[in-house]
Amino acid sequence: MNGLIFLIPVALGMGGLGLAAFFWAMRSGQFEDLDGAAQRILIEDEDEQ
């Protein structure tokens, strides 16, 4: 029972930290161009030839 007193606040803190990191990533534009990175890997650079 004493472990729950310690583990519940730690779990809530880790969840809050993950949520804050998610909102930080949204505000910094990490999720704006999801298709661009997938398409850039298929396009070859012409300078390398």
Domain assignment of residue 30, given as a range: 19-48
- Look at the chain and report how many structural domains it folds into: 1
In a domain, 27, yes or no: yes
pLDDT at 45: 73
What pLDDT is recorded for position 41?
Answer: 82
- Reported as a single tens digit per residue, the pLDDT across 2-34 is 899 999 999 999 999 999 999 999 999 888 888
Q: What is the pLDDT of residue 6?
A: 93
Residues 6+ apart with CB under 8 A from 25: 31
In a domain, 3, yes or no: no
CB 31 within 8 A of CB 25: yes
- The reply to whether 5 falls in a domain is no
Does the residue 10 lie in any domain?
no
**44 assigned to some structural domain:** yes
Q: Is residue 42 part of a domain?
A: yes
Residue 33, domain member (yes or no): yes
Q: How far apart (Å, rounded) are the C-alpha atoms in residues 20 and 11? A: 14
Rounded-to-integer distance, Cα 40 and Cα 48, Å: 15
Nearest residue to 25 via CA among 37, 36, 17: 17
